[in-house]
A and B are shown apart, each in its own frame.
Chain A
Amino acid sequence: MLETQIEKRFARGPVIRGGLRCPADRFHVTVVAGPSGSGKTTLLRCLAGLERPDSGHVRFADETWCDVAARRFLPPQARGVGFMFQEPALFPHLSVADNVGYGLRTHAVADRRRIVTGLLDRLGIARLATRRPHELSGGEQQRVALARTLAPRPRLLLLDEPLSALDPDLRLDVRHQLREWLADCRTPVVLVTHDRADADTLADDVVTMPVNV
């Protein structure tokens, strides 16, 4: 199981409280929904280790990633998670292929090339391999970001509004494709969205963040 319960206070901001439970060993999409400002992104960042909660814990299978009471905190590098930001956040100085292969530094060159080519094919962006991020459209950048996240085979996928960069027509197509792409990885997925239709199409489970006052 992936199991978490966290609380985070921001200076001059709301108190974020939230948690979720989902299986850790198979494909399962948990959608985190809730109004903006309810702390969806913060919950996701705590799962990745990019943010330290003020209290609470994150447990994945038999590992404790974070336990504030026990002063235990595993840095993001040691968690093996894939995190996709709301904005693609591609490395501007690297080509599409090098972006996707970034997390495969310790792989042999031939392996790295095979994995990168395979992913670019699967996501329909093989023709973009040599381009730089600034030459791509928003939707293309988002696919490259997804490929980069999937390449090192993370144990848990965390996606923050993965479809927000797409215009509405494209969004409908990609929504179905996205679930197929994610299913390939056979890992649990936690996905943040404020879009009702995204949640309905993608989710096995929906967790709603409480509204804070």
Chain B
Amino acid sequence: MDAAAVRLTCTLAAATTAVLAVIGLPLAHWLATSRWRGRFLVESLVALPLVLPPTVLGFFILVGLGPRSPVGRLYEAATGGTLPFSFAGILVASVVSNLPFAVRPFTAAFTGMDRRLAEASWCLGESRWRTFWRVTLPTCWPGILAGLVLTFAHAVGEFGVVLMVGGSIPGVTRTLALTIYDDVQALDYESAARTSLWLVAFALAAMAVVHALEQWRRRS
């Protein structure tokens, strides 16, 4: 296996998971507690990457982040670089396409919590923020952890959007999933098989963790 690709893949997946914890937890908490009637529209937007072809998502991200887009110009003014075909670019793409894999399990975890626990905390004088840290997080952690593992595992295997936005630049944007594609193009089936088997083993381990957490949560 390509060591640079392994490193890049792990960094990308870890960064995606971290960003989605910061964005996804508040968003999921809002989705789980809001009584707003238009909530389903936000939920549909979050779920969109599940059904959209990665090429469509990748195309819009590529255009949206390009040097002539407002985001691209802002980024260039701030850092001097451009987003497409860079690590920052594939990170944005990976975050967008992994949004449902983080937000949906988080939302399920928050929805499953007894609402009265939060209300009891408010009546005991604790703010919503403190209630989140003292009650919501400690009671919902198995579901949240499952969401983080799922997000990491799915980000490791990301292919379509990363190829669209990042190209396949060795050491910069060529992740493990892309090396398999390149190996097959180069008729190096042996290398492709090795990498594929490793990814199967990793994905299986991740799914085992997710479902063990789910089973554990239902029992307690």
Which A positions have Cβ atoms within 8 angstroms of B? 48-50, 75-77, 80-83, 85, 87, 89, 91-93, 102-103, 105, 148-149, 152
| Complex-state Cα separation, A82 to B120, whole angstroms | 9
List B residues 65-80 near A (Cβ within 8 Å). none
Please tell me if B4 contacts chain A, counting CB pairs below 8 Å: no
Question: What A residues does B127 contact at CB under 8 A?
Answer: 77
The main secondary structure of chain B at its interface with chain A is helix
Are A102 and B123 in contact, with the CB atoms below 8 A?
no
- Report the contact-size class of chain B (Cβ under 8 Å from the partner): 10 to 19
Asked if A102 and B121 make an inter-chain contact with CB atoms under 8 angstroms apart, the answer reads yes
| Chain A residues within an 8 Å CB radius of B117 | 89, 91-92
Q: Does B139 contact A83, Cβ atoms closer than 8 Å?
A: no
User: Are A105 and B126 closer than 8 Å at their CB atoms?
Assistant: yes
| CB-contact partner of A83 in B123, B130, B134, B135, under 8 A | B123
Determine the chain B residues whose CB is within 8 A of the CB of A92 once the complex forms: 117, 139
**How long is the Cα–Cα vector from A82 to B124 in the complex, in angstroms?**
7
Do residues B122 and A89 form an inter-chain contact, with CB atoms below 8 A? no
Q: Confirm or deny: B138 has a beta carbon within 8 angstroms of a beta carbon on chain A.
A: yes
Distance (whole angstroms) from the CB of A80 to the closest CB of chain B? 8
8 Å CB contacts to A: which residues of B100-131? Answer: 114, 116-117, 119-127, 130
Extra contacts, 11 of them, besides A50-B119, A77-B127, A91-B117 (Cβ < 8 A), are A76-B119, A76-B122, A76-B123, A77-B126, A82-B123, A83-B123, A85-B119, A89-B117, A103-B126, A105-B125, A152-B124
